[in-house]
């Protein structure tokens, strides 16, 4: 059976030693009183909830899955899920980072980010039920009317009601401009919606008393394409003027998808049959509001793969230390045993360190992203808000695609550490792999994210935001450029930073002549950009570790050095030696162009 220990020490390192989040909070009146001890105490309790309440339900939830009563359309979640959700509400976890105006605790978003990483490690399927509510909440906070906020947000903040996003239809997938769901205006100002949606995570369940669906649909006179899409609130159970629950709405689950993974989450086919809804925002401007939820979901999906990478790594590491098999090539290491533990073998260590490097790099990026979102929403300086939002927009597709690609690589590697036992269900590893695979697909496939990054976020503003990130890299290079002990970390990012400008310009010029060149290069380009971002954070983490090692060594000698910092430094060295060099191959394959992909009619006949 797998185990899970919340990585609280590394979370504290990222927040307090790397990012120094409390210093940033002091600049924001909303969080000026938040201190490190408060953050640490909350996350310690959150880790206990994840490890003790939801983690024990992960394998059983995967085995049982969700069931639907076809007569009533009611969906039952796996045994224990509903009770765990009740404890989640009782503990106030749903309200952690929500606005006190709606009953929230008002804690910083990075705290919620770290809490949800632990929930995703413990049980991704379960965490999706409350997790999607945060995105729906954010969309309504930004675009809802005062009446809509008062009607829905208090109950969503408390967790009594959950939320979903209903976008996809069977015939259109990501191309939402092709959707057919209709919204007919009614005399009382409401709308009646008719249509079908698929792949709706947490679309129907028995864990909360109401589900607030955010549904994309077309008005009768809507323009064709994406510019004719509007957003509507469609509650499962209609809400009366006084806030009490009324009649069952005409929205229900027509069936559940039979999936490769995340079996404990109800992925619903949703039928709208004259369902009553209210408009969110302006007519035909639904994507503006929905993108708030979609971008939150993309950050959340990156966090899902971070959680799976961490828990897979922990279990693979424990197994590698315990499993004895063969002898080390350089001679016996465990002479009192019949064979050496497999952790002595170089390639086993490579697999473990790959997962560790991707987990810790991903944690740094996601916490940094959460702080950018915090600044965008709450910093008093308008320029800081604008710059933070712009940077976050560029990093969002990297968070979603790079971290989920890495999660697939890492969980697969960790399964491989187990050998044949990794393929056996009882060890739990094959579930981590299956669950990780969906994260590369939903909330916009990773190819869509790559096109978004290169086409919109980089070339769309002539690389302006990329250059701003480049200035962060440049500042670190200038600060540590003469420090020989930092050279192994600084030189690679300095070189790639210089190459990135030329590489981007080259792809951009080719794209002007033939747009397919952008499509051909985009996936490779995103991985190069991802490594530049990870490289920057790994160099900074090595910088912090080296300084702390020097400080501790000077104070008490080599024996007084905290092994945590030695581990951080060793992992940084591995990342730059074994993973970062992938960028050279990626730039070469990106430059290979579109012809070898599109001039292939005979090959694909």
The predicted-structure confidence for 317-346, as pLDDT tens digits, reads as follows: 999 999 999 999 999 999 999 999 999 999
Q: What percent of the chain has pLDDT over 90?
A: 96
Q: What is the DSSP letter of 50?
A: I
Alpha helix positions (H), 418-486: 429-438, 446-451, 464-480
From CA 205, how far away is CA 18, in angstroms rounded? 40
CA distance 363 to 357: 10
pLDDT band for position 536 (cuts 50, 70, 90): very high
pLDDT of residue 173: 79
- In the beta sheet, which residues pair with residue 211? 162
- Which range has the worst mean pLDDT, 63-72, 216-225, 522-531, 552-561? 552-561
- Separation in Å, CA 439 to CA 373, 433, 499: 22, 10, 30
Pairing of strands 267-280, 230-235: antiparallel
The b/e string for 342-373 (b: 16+ C-beta within 10 A; e otherwise) is bbbbeebbebbbbbbbbbbbbbbbbbbbbbbb
Report the relative pairing of strands 191-201 and 74-76 from DSSP bridges: unpaired
> Which two structure tokens, joined as six digits, stand for 502?
């030329």
CA 102, 306, 90, 33 torsion-angle sign = negative
**Residues 125, 259 contacting (CB under 8 angstroms):** no
Judge if pTM exceeds 0.85: yes
Judge whether 443 counts as a catalytic residue.
Answer: yes
CA distance 491 to 486: 8
**In terms of C-beta density within 10 A (0-12 exposed, 13-18 middle, 19 or more buried), how is residue 38 classed?**
middle
pLDDT tens digits, 147-201: 999 999 999 999 999 999 999 999 987 888 899 999 999 999 999 999 999 999 9
In whole angstroms, what is the distance from residue 421 CA to residue 426 CA?
Answer: 9
* Digit-coded pLDDT (tens) for 227-237: 999 999 999 99
Listing DSSP states for 497-554 in one string gives HHHHHHHHHHHHHHHHH-THHHHHHHHHHHHHHHHHHHHHHHHHHHHHHHHHHHHHHH
Distance CA 473, CA 469 (A): 7
Cβ atoms of residues 231 and 280 within 8 Å: yes
Tokens coding 370:
């959460």
Q: Which band of pLDDT confidence, cut at 50, 70 and 90, is reported for residue 65?
A: very high
Q: Which is catalytic among the residues 443, 480, 517, 548?
A: 443
- Collapsing DSSP to helix, strand or coil, 188 comes out as coil
């Amino acid at each position: 059976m797998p185990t899970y220990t919340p990585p609280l020490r590394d979370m504290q390192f990222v927040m307090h030693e790397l990012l120094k989040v409390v210093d940033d909070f002091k600049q924001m009146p909303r969080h000026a009183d938040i201190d490190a001890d408060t953050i640490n105490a909350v996350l310690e309790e959150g880790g206990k909830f994840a490890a003790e309440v939801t983690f024990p339900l992960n394998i059983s939830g995967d085995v049982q899955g969700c069931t639907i009563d076809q007569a009533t359309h009611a969906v039952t979640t796996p045994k224990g899920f509903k009770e765990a959700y009740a404890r989640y509400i009782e503990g106030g976890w749903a309200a952690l980072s929500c606005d006190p105006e709606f009953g929230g605790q008002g804690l910083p978003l990075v705290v919620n980010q770290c809490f949800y990483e632990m929930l995703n490690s413990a049980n991704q399927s379960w965490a999706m039920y409350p997790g999607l509510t945060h995105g729906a909440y954010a969309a309504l906070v930004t675009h809802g009317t005062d009446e809509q906020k008062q009607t829905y947000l208090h109950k969503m903040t408390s967790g009594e009601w959950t939320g979903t996003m209903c976008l996809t239809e069977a015939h259109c997938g990501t191309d939402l401009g092709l959707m057919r769901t209709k919204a007919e205006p009614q005399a009382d100002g409401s709308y009646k919606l008719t249509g079908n949606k698929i792949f709706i995570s947490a679309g129907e369940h028995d864990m909360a008393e109401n589900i607030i669906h955010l549904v994309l649909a077309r008005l009768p006179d809507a323009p064709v394409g994406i510019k004719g899409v509007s957003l509507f609130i469609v509650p499962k159970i209609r809400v009366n003027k006084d806030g009490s629950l009324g009649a069952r709405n005409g929205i229900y689950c027509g069936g559940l998808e039979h999936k490769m993974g995340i079996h404990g989450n109800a992925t619903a086919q949703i039928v709208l049959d004259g369902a009553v809804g209210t408009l969110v925002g302006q007519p035909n401007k639904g994507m503006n509001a929905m993108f708030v939820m979609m971008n939150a979901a993309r950050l959340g999906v990156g966090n899902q793969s971070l959680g799976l990478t961490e828990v897979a790594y922990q279990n693979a590491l424990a197994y590698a230390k315990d499993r004895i098999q063969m002898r080390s090539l350089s001679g016996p290491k465990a002479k009192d045993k019949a064979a050496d533990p497999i952790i002595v073998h170089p390639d086993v260590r490579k697999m473990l360190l790959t997962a560790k490097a991707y987990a810790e790099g991903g944690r740094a990026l996601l916490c940094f992203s959460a702080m950018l979102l915090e600044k965008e929403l709450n910093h008093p300086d308008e320029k800081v808000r604008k710059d933070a939002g712009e940077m976050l927009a560029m990093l969002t597709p990297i968070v979603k695609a790079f971290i989920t690609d890495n999660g697939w690589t890492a969980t697969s590697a960790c399964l491989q550490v187990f050998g044949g036992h990794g393929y056996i269900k009882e060890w739990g590893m094959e579930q981590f792999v299956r669950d990780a695979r969906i994260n590369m697909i939903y909330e916009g496939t990773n190819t869509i994210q790559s096109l978004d990054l290169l086409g919109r976020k980089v070339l769309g503003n002539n690389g302006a935001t990329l250059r701003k990130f480049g200035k962060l890299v440049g500042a670190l290079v200038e600060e540590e450029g003469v420090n020989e002990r930092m050279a192994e970390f600084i030189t690679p990012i300095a070189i790639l930073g210089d190459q990135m400008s030329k590489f981007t310009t080259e792809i951009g010029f080719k794209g002007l002549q033939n747009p397919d060149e952008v499509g051909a290069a985009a996936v490779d380009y995103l991985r190069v950009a991802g490594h530049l971002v990870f490289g920057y954070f790994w160099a900074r983490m090595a910088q912090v570790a080296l300084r702390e090692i020097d400080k501790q060594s000077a104070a008490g000698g080599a024996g007084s050095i905290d092994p945590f910092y030695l581990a951080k430094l060793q992992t940084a060295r591995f990342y730059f030696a074994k993973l970062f060099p992938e960028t050279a191959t990626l730039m070469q394959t990106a430059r290979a162009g579109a012809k070898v992909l599109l001039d292939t009619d005979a090959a694909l006949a």
